[in-house]
Structure 1
Amino acid sequence: MKAFVLPSYGSPLVLTDLDQPVPGDDEVLVRVRATSVQPYDWHFLRGEPYVARVMGGGPGLRAPRFSVLGADVAGEVEAVGKDVTGFRPGDEVYAMPKQGGFAEYVCVPESELALKPRNVSFEEAAAVPMAACTALLALRDDGHVEPGDRVLINGASGGVGTFAVQLAKAFGAHVTGVCGSRNVGLVRSLGADEVVDYTKEDFTRSGRRYDLLLDIAGSRSGSACRRVMTRKATHVLIGGPAGRWFQPASHVFATLAAGLFVSQRVVVTEVVPCTEIRQNLMTLAELIEAGEIHPVIDRTYPFAEIPAAVSYQEQGHASGKVVVSL
């Protein structure tokens, strides 16, 4: 099979012929029809921030832990292991396998995939798993969002943000999205009740108060964000500014440390260690089929142009998701 392989940190992805993988007892072999690109991929490609290399679950100390990147997959079941009961060849599925999506085939544990939403294409389905699961965990599990809550989403126009706006509205919240000028219309079209253009207004000095703040962009300090949070609000950290040595880790750790001395809850959403991926994908499929949420795709690239897709996504200007079609 064809796959894009990462030989070493920072090197170009190389299109290579690899043996087709064989599913283990609890795995499903998926013929990949579409995948997507996200910050998770280029963090592993660069091995940055460097501090992450010594952390559990990081990219690897001296060499990449994953040779084939790609954490989102949509495709068809080719074969199943002997212990798999929920899928059969021919099923259309989507998955979050954490690695291996930049290839024609990938083996995925049964616990990390679900049937694809019936009303979307493979390309649309591939835009969902990691970004939408992150937004779901941030709002439902870490943010404990309730109907009527006032929710601010800093970074509302990216992959996670576009899902977070829609999910927060589906949960009955009053939503304020923060984004740049060119995405104001997009964020409003996703259901945001209010949109703040960060090029014209500093949301931390608006005088408004929020019950839940989802911080995807990490563009303001924790102390600045607390100015717009109610006394019992929750500050959910999802991302932050990229850096070679410590960012976004230093932004997250500093905000967590300061949170020990304030009344607001400060939590970090971590989707990779989640043990309920299949259930979350099933929940998202139900919401998509019900028309409550839909993926936003900025650009779609052919498989041969995965390096270009990664480069574009790394620039940080994508509105929604960057998708690759096989």
Structure 2
Amino acid sequence: MALKTTMQTLVQKTAASTTLTLINSPIPSPTPNSDEHLIQIKACSPCSGELLWPKNFPPPTERPLIPCPDMAGIVISAPADSPFQPGAEVYSRTNYIRPGNAREYSIAVTEELARKPKGLSFVQAVSIPLSAMTAWQILFVHAFPTEQEMGIEEAKAVWKGKRVLVTAASGGVGMWVVQLARMLGAEVIGTCGSGNANLVRDLGVGEVLDYRKVDLKEWAGQDGNAVDVVVDCVGRQALADAWWTVKDGGVVLSIYQPPRGVCPAGFEGTGVRDVFFVMQPVSRQLEEITRLAEAGLCRGIVDSVWPLEQFEEAFKRLDGGHAKGKIVFDLELNR
């Protein structure tokens, strides 16, 4: 397939600055004799706070600072032994060691890729990978660690009847924790603003706590309210407050920061395990999520769709903290 030689690319000017600019750059080439695939990007999605990552967590090797770890697109070239041959519709959360996907063509390796769910558009599909795999790793890997990752039936046996508090239940990751935890048989309590209460109830939250009005320490002091697991997607004060809700022997897990660092003074719970982890893309997990999405058991939610040229407005919406679902760039709008 003949390709043009340059493409639109959204770049972050420096690691110390969150300023973005849209440029023309050369189309990337997969490394010969590797598992790299060239993907024509149809849609991509940014992650909240990612423009701070290059400064706070510098990539291991110098690379262009291109945002948007989530992508959906069509394979243009692939290794001969890849299950994703040219023409395949795929999606992924690509690894941070390489540039992101806010560009017309990008690179992904076999271990990051999965089939795009049938029946979903590229825009719908791209709302899934990062958030869903993070939630999957919370529930199947880290909250109740075993010698190996749990399968769905094993996880159902572990999670059935457990009480789980999800902070920012209406956020990108929170929505997926709610859906998957509910599917596994857990009783889900979620914090969010009142405007998102109906949304999270629809996804599976049994009790909604308005974070602006509910004192979690006071709420947890009422009989029967303590939880087995806290899943924190916010960090800082929300995480500190959530410590009060966990039972003795429970788990406080955060994807934002190590929970022990904000454990409140006076907390007297015993045997509480605290977990912090950074999500890694795993093709096998994303394939499981594809099957669940195709079966209608869970879904991604798109807040808004933008052409790449409107990146400033899109990131402003993202950074405002009030998006209901994922911000998505539809690159078909640029063509």
TM-score bucket (shorter structure): 0.7 to 0.9
Distance of 1:124 and 1:198 partners within structure 2: 29
Establish whether residue 225 from structure 1 lines up as the match of residue 242 from structure 2.
yes
Distance of 2:162 and 2:64 partners within structure 1: 40
2:276 maps to 268
The 5 A counterparts of 1:72-221 are: 72-82=70-80, 84-97=81-94, 98=96, 99-144=99-144, 146-206=159-219, 207=222, 208-220=225-237
Q: What whole-Å deviation, never above 9, does each CA across 1:254-294 have from its counterpart, x for those lacking one?
A: 148999x94111001310xx3x6101111111111111110
Q: What's the Cα RMSD here?
A: 2.5
Structure 2 counterpart SS, 1:39: coil
> Could you say which structure has the larger radius of gyration?
2
- 1:139 shift after superposition: 1.7
Change (3 A) 1:20 1:257: farther
2:19 maps to 12
* Contact 2:170/2:192 (<8 A) preserved: yes
Moved over 3 A (4+): 63-66, 219-224, 255-259
Which amino acid letter does the alignment assign opposite residue 87 of structure 1? F
The 5 A counterparts of 1:288-299 are: 288-299=293-304
Distance of 1:42 and 1:131 partners within structure 2: 17
What percent identity do the matched residue pairs reach?
Answer: 32
Q: Which moved more, 1:295-304 or 1:9-18?
A: 9-18
Distance of 2:289 and 2:85 partners within structure 1: 21
Structure 1 counterpart SS, 2:26: coil
Q: What whole-Å deviation, never above 9, does each CA across 1:198-228 have from its counterpart, x for those lacking one?
A: 1221233213111111011225466643332
Number of residues of Structure 1 aligned to a counterpart in Structure 2:
301
- 1:80 shift after superposition: 0.9
Change (3 A) 1:231 1:174: same
* Contact 2:48/2:318 (<8 A) preserved: yes
Which amino acid letter does the alignment assign opposite residue 93 of structure 1? V
* Contact 2:240/2:264 (<8 A) preserved: no
Distance of 1:294 and 1:175 partners within structure 2: 17
Distance of 2:198 and 2:70 partners within structure 1: 27
Change (3 A) 1:66 1:213: farther
* Contact 2:216/2:241 (<8 A) preserved: no
Distance of 1:307 and 1:65 partners within structure 2: 22
Larger RCO: Structure 1 or Structure 2 (Cα < 8 Å, ≥ 6 residues apart)? Answer: 1
Change (3 A) 1:256 1:127: same
